[in-house]
Amino acid sequence: MKESITANFEQEMNTTRRFFDVISDEFFAYQPHEKSMDAAKLLNHIARIPSFITAIAGGSSLDFSKVPPSEPATTKEAIIELFETNVTQAKEALNQLPEAQFTDAWTLKNGETTYFKDVPKQDVIRNLVISHTIHHRAQLGVYLRMNNLKVPASYVASADESLIG
Protein backbone atom coordinates (compact mmCIF):
# COMPACT_ATOMS: atom_id res chain seq x y z
CA MET A 1 0.00 0.00 0.00
CA LYS A 2 2.72 2.47 1.00
CA GLU A 3 4.65 1.95 -2.23
CA SER A 4 1.53 2.35 -4.38
CA ILE A 5 0.33 5.51 -2.62
CA THR A 6 3.80 7.07 -2.66
CA ALA A 7 4.24 6.37 -6.39
CA ASN A 8 0.76 7.77 -7.16
CA PHE A 9 1.46 10.87 -5.04
CA GLU A 10 4.78 11.51 -6.80
CA GLN A 11 3.23 11.04 -10.27
CA GLU A 12 0.42 13.51 -9.57
CA MET A 13 2.74 16.07 -7.98
CA ASN A 14 5.06 15.86 -11.02
CA THR A 15 2.08 16.56 -13.27
CA THR A 16 0.89 19.40 -11.06
CA ARG A 17 4.36 20.96 -11.13
CA ARG A 18 4.08 21.25 -14.92
CA PHE A 19 0.88 23.31 -14.52
CA PHE A 20 2.67 25.78 -12.25
CA ASP A 21 5.40 26.16 -14.88
CA VAL A 22 2.86 27.68 -17.30
CA ILE A 23 1.64 30.54 -15.10
CA SER A 24 2.97 34.09 -14.84
CA ASP A 25 2.80 36.59 -11.99
CA GLU A 26 0.01 38.41 -13.84
CA PHE A 27 -2.11 35.25 -13.87
CA PHE A 28 -2.66 35.49 -10.08
CA ALA A 29 -5.22 38.28 -10.54
CA TYR A 30 -7.48 36.28 -12.88
CA GLN A 31 -10.97 35.35 -11.68
CA PRO A 32 -13.28 33.69 -14.24
CA HIS A 33 -16.51 34.47 -12.38
CA GLU A 34 -17.56 36.28 -9.22
CA LYS A 35 -18.44 32.93 -7.60
CA SER A 36 -15.12 31.36 -8.58
CA MET A 37 -11.86 31.48 -6.68
CA ASP A 38 -9.36 33.88 -8.12
CA ALA A 39 -6.23 32.26 -9.52
CA ALA A 40 -4.11 33.34 -6.53
CA LYS A 41 -6.40 31.52 -4.10
CA LEU A 42 -6.62 28.45 -6.34
CA LEU A 43 -2.84 28.28 -6.82
CA ASN A 44 -2.20 28.64 -3.08
CA HIS A 45 -4.78 25.98 -2.31
CA ILE A 46 -3.21 23.52 -4.75
CA ALA A 47 0.28 24.28 -3.41
CA ARG A 48 -0.83 23.59 0.16
CA ILE A 49 -2.75 20.35 -0.40
CA PRO A 50 0.41 18.17 -0.17
CA SER A 51 1.03 19.55 3.34
CA PHE A 52 -1.99 17.57 4.58
CA ILE A 53 0.15 14.43 4.35
CA THR A 54 2.37 15.68 7.16
CA ALA A 55 -0.70 16.04 9.39
CA ILE A 56 -2.11 12.67 8.29
CA ALA A 57 1.16 10.85 8.95
CA GLY A 58 1.86 12.70 12.20
CA GLY A 59 -1.33 12.07 14.13
CA SER A 60 -4.90 10.87 14.23
CA SER A 61 -6.66 14.10 13.25
CA LEU A 62 -6.47 17.63 11.95
CA ASP A 63 -8.61 20.52 13.19
CA PHE A 64 -8.48 23.41 10.72
CA SER A 65 -9.60 25.82 13.45
CA LYS A 66 -6.24 25.26 15.17
CA VAL A 67 -4.15 25.91 12.05
CA PRO A 68 -2.87 29.49 11.95
CA PRO A 69 -3.47 31.33 8.68
CA SER A 70 -0.46 31.69 6.43
CA GLU A 71 0.58 34.42 4.04
CA PRO A 72 -0.41 33.60 0.48
CA ALA A 73 2.21 33.30 -2.21
CA THR A 74 1.75 36.08 -4.75
CA THR A 75 4.31 35.26 -7.45
CA LYS A 76 5.09 32.28 -9.66
CA GLU A 77 8.43 31.83 -7.91
CA ALA A 78 6.81 31.88 -4.47
CA ILE A 79 4.01 29.47 -5.40
CA ILE A 80 6.50 26.99 -6.86
CA GLU A 81 8.68 27.28 -3.74
CA LEU A 82 5.64 26.70 -1.48
CA PHE A 83 4.56 23.70 -3.55
CA GLU A 84 8.06 22.17 -3.63
CA THR A 85 8.49 22.60 0.12
CA ASN A 86 5.15 20.93 0.82
CA VAL A 87 5.82 18.08 -1.62
CA THR A 88 9.27 17.45 -0.11
CA GLN A 89 7.86 17.38 3.42
CA ALA A 90 5.00 15.14 2.31
CA LYS A 91 7.40 12.64 0.72
CA GLU A 92 9.47 12.57 3.93
CA ALA A 93 6.31 11.99 5.98
CA LEU A 94 5.19 9.18 3.67
CA ASN A 95 8.62 7.56 3.83
CA GLN A 96 8.60 7.67 7.65
CA LEU A 97 5.03 6.39 8.04
CA PRO A 98 5.15 2.66 8.78
CA GLU A 99 3.17 0.47 6.38
CA ALA A 100 0.94 -0.77 9.22
CA GLN A 101 -0.19 2.78 10.05
CA PHE A 102 -1.70 3.36 6.60
CA THR A 103 -4.86 1.68 7.94
CA ASP A 104 -5.00 3.73 11.17
CA ALA A 105 -8.10 5.89 11.62
CA TRP A 106 -7.91 9.61 10.92
CA THR A 107 -10.37 12.48 11.45
CA LEU A 108 -10.73 15.90 9.81
CA LYS A 109 -12.67 18.72 11.41
CA ASN A 110 -12.97 22.46 11.71
CA GLY A 111 -13.89 23.30 15.27
CA GLU A 112 -17.22 21.62 16.00
CA THR A 113 -17.76 20.54 12.39
CA THR A 114 -16.48 17.06 11.56
CA TYR A 115 -15.87 16.46 7.86
CA PHE A 116 -15.02 12.81 8.28
CA LYS A 117 -14.20 10.59 11.24
CA ASP A 118 -12.08 7.49 11.65
CA VAL A 119 -11.26 7.03 7.96
CA PRO A 120 -8.17 4.91 7.20
CA LYS A 121 -5.15 7.11 6.50
CA GLN A 122 -4.61 5.43 3.12
CA ASP A 123 -8.09 6.55 2.02
CA VAL A 124 -7.55 10.06 3.36
CA ILE A 125 -4.28 10.38 1.43
CA ARG A 126 -5.89 9.16 -1.79
CA ASN A 127 -8.99 11.36 -1.44
CA LEU A 128 -8.00 14.47 0.52
CA VAL A 129 -4.58 14.82 -1.08
CA ILE A 130 -4.23 13.01 -4.40
CA SER A 131 -7.79 13.23 -5.79
CA HIS A 132 -8.24 16.70 -4.33
CA THR A 133 -5.09 17.87 -6.13
CA ILE A 134 -6.30 16.34 -9.41
CA HIS A 135 -9.67 18.06 -9.03
CA HIS A 136 -8.18 21.52 -8.51
CA ARG A 137 -5.49 20.95 -11.14
CA ALA A 138 -8.30 20.38 -13.65
CA GLN A 139 -9.90 23.61 -12.47
CA LEU A 140 -6.55 25.34 -13.00
CA GLY A 141 -6.43 23.87 -16.51
CA VAL A 142 -9.71 25.63 -17.31
CA TYR A 143 -8.29 28.91 -15.96
CA LEU A 144 -5.22 28.44 -18.16
CA ARG A 145 -7.34 27.74 -21.23
CA MET A 146 -9.52 30.79 -20.57
CA ASN A 147 -6.32 32.89 -20.57
CA ASN A 148 -5.04 31.34 -23.81
CA LEU A 149 -2.18 29.66 -21.95
CA LYS A 150 -0.98 26.18 -22.82
CA VAL A 151 -2.62 23.43 -20.80
CA PRO A 152 -0.13 20.67 -19.98
CA ALA A 153 -1.15 17.08 -20.59
CA SER A 154 -2.09 15.32 -17.37
CA TYR A 155 -1.91 11.72 -18.58
CA VAL A 156 -1.77 11.24 -22.33
CA ALA A 157 -2.48 14.50 -24.10
CA SER A 158 -4.13 17.90 -24.00
CA ALA A 159 -4.95 20.13 -26.96
CA ASP A 160 -1.51 21.69 -26.43
CA GLU A 161 0.75 18.78 -25.55
CA SER A 162 1.18 15.05 -26.03
CA LEU A 163 3.12 12.85 -23.64
CA ILE A 164 3.40 10.06 -26.19
CA GLY A 165 5.73 10.00 -29.17
Please report whether residue 137 resides in a domain: yes
Q: Per the structure, how many domains does the chain have?
A: 1
Question: Confidence class of residue 18 from pLDDT cuts 50, 70 and 90?
Answer: very high
Please report whether residue 17 resides in a domain: yes
pLDDT surpasses 80 at 165: no
Please report whether residue 91 resides in a domain: yes
Sheet containing 113-120: give its strands across.
Answer: 61-63, 105-110, 113-120
Please report whether residue 40 resides in a domain: yes
| CA dihedral over 142, 46, 56, 153, signed as positive or negative | positive
Please report whether residue 39 resides in a domain: yes
Please report whether residue 164 resides in a domain: no
Q: Can you give the CATH number for the domain in which 9 is found?
A: 1.20.120.450
Domain that holds residue 75: 2-146
Please report whether residue 124 resides in a domain: yes
| % the chain with pLDDT above 90 | 99
For the full predicted model, state whether its pTM sits above 0.85.
Answer: yes
